Amino acid sequence: MGDNNHHQVFDVSANGYGESKCFDDDGRLKRSGSVWTASAHIITAVIGSGVLSLAWATAQLGWIAGPTVLLLFSFVTYYTSALLADCYRSGDQVSGKRNYTYMDAVRANLGGLQVKICGVIQYVNLFGVAVGYTIASSISMMAVKRSDCFHKHGHRAACNVSSTPYMIMFGVMEILFSQIPDFDQIWWLSIVAAVMSFTYSTIGLGLGVAQVAERGKIQGSLTGISIGTEVTEMQKIWRSFQALGAIAFAYSYSLILIEIQDTLKAPPSEAKTMKKATLLSVAVTTVFYMLCGCFGYAAFGDQSPGNLLTGFGFYNPYWLLDIANVAIVVHLVGAYQVYCQPLFAFVEKTAFEWYPSNKFITKELDVPIPGFKPFKLNLFRLVWRTIFVIITTVISMLMPFFNDVVGILGAFGFWPLTVYFPVEMYIVQKKIPKWSARWISLQILSAACLVISIAAAAGSFAGVISDLKVYRPFNTPN
């Protein structure tokens, strides 16, 4: 994810490191990761806010296409991740030069213009994720407020809440957190994130199961939302496309795959371990997604809300909903920072390279904190990160449509980052001859996924346009 400054490659022969008890072949401290740690990393990275829109996505597609599409995405994700795992080392799988990040792998295998394109796609994607997380967390904060209001005044109460103050609150929190240096390196952060995402996903699943058990019947139809009563024929097509984007977003983690692989110990070769970890984690995630998507749909049928925990299909137990929504907010506050760090680092590094003698960019002020070491405040970092958070917050206020944004992000990142680059790098890495059967089948896979991405993007943009027709920014929806 971008170029991290602390990545240095050591020339083994010159430094005389070689393999030793404490160091790996690149002169770094011995890596100790295993199939289990890698699987845990992937599962925590994958199971996030994407899970909340799966019941809605399943409702658009129906009982046949919904689960089928989920399975197809899991297969493609697993397959292209296995190709990507082979690109961790350039050349030989056991002794080739390591690539520490996704960008390093693209640089080593494809080079030139492709690296720049990959960078642009990555950073635009990260910016989009920041907007998506702002929307999702404000929706959850509103849901807590509304759930308590329904509890007090009954389910028929109006309980209108505006998302704007919650977005501003989230933005202020992110401005403060964005000034913490190396925020993404804090060790307990990923544990908290993991616990939170499992908490809200499991509550969503549990409430869906409980609802189905209580009603004693399964809602929904084989073909999804019915044309005529719920949507027009055209809307049905757009929404089905948008559902593809939502599912793609739920599976996206290829960006961090190489970085997770860089934590693995060898032998066996990192690629071997990573493929096992990918199989295990994609299988676990798929089972979980199937349960969440299908039970959500079974509970609500055509009425499945865009966001399972905030669409008020469930009113009770209200405290359990509150716990789930607070867990979402806590998870997203941290996830926002982790996702934005590479983008922050890239802009700061570039600014420093272009204007190395500019005082505004280089000067650090010591801010005294009683009882602690003084906090080093860099003015450029303060101003640029604050502006970044303000821009993402304002965009979120202008179009707070969780489903559409998730669909756009899924569509935009899926083909290039999950399919195109891994396939192209693998072809270079394995020297697959052009027009050979292997080459042709990989290109067909890539082309098919491109079509899916374009359809998902079109569906999501159509969603934004139809939502904007009825939405007035900064107004409380009725």
Residues 6+ apart with CB under 8 A from 472: none
How far is 326 from 137, CA to CA, in rounded Å?
A: 9
Choose between 106 and 220: higher pLDDT: 106
Choose between 187 and 147: higher pLDDT: 147
Query: Is residue 4 predicted with pLDDT exceeding 80?
Result: no
Structural contact between residues 280 and 82, judged by C-beta atoms closer than 8 angstroms: no
Q: Is 352 exposed, middle or buried (0-12, 13-18, 19+ CB in 10 A)?
A: middle
Domains of the chain in start order, with CATH, are 35-469 (1.20.1740.10)
Half-sphere exposure of 458 (CA within 13 A, CB side): 13
- Which of 243-247, 364-368, 458-462 is the least confident region? 364-368
**What mean pLDDT comes out for the span 189-207?**
84
**What mean pLDDT comes out for the span 105-127?**
91
pLDDT of residue 473: 67
How far is 355 from 398, CA to CA, in rounded Å?
A: 34
The CA-atom distances, in angstroms, between 28 and each of 25, 98, 125 are: 7, 11, 30
How far is 180 from 134, CA to CA, in rounded Å?
A: 19
pLDDT of residue 315: 64
**What mean pLDDT comes out for the span 14-38?**
73
Residues 6+ apart with CB under 8 A from 316: none
Q: What is the pTM of this model?
A: 0.84
Query: Is residue 16 predicted with pLDDT exceeding 50?
Result: no
pLDDT of residue 7: 43
Which tokens belong to 351?
A: 């600014």
Choose between 126 and 70: higher pLDDT: 70
Query: Is residue 229 predicted with pLDDT exceeding 90?
Result: no
Between CA 326 and CA 39, with CA 343 as vertex, the angle to 5 degrees is 60
266-291 residue pLDDT tens:
788 899 999 999 999 999 999 989 98
What is the SS3 assignment for 381? Answer: helix
Structural contact between residues 456 and 241, judged by C-beta atoms closer than 8 angstroms: yes
Query: Is residue 1 predicted with pLDDT exceeding 90?
Result: no
Mean residue pLDDT across the chain: 85
| DSSP notation for 45-95 | HHSSGGGGGHHHHHHHHHHHHHHHHHHHHHHHHHHHHHHHHTTSEESSTTT
Choose between 229 and 453: higher pLDDT: 453
pLDDT of residue 444: 97
What is the SS3 assignment for 162? Answer: coil
371: left (phi over 0), alpha (psi -120 to 50) or beta: left
Helices 102-109 and 112-153, packing angle to 10 deg: 160
307-342 residue pLDDT tens:
888 766 556 678 888 998 999 999 888 888 878 888
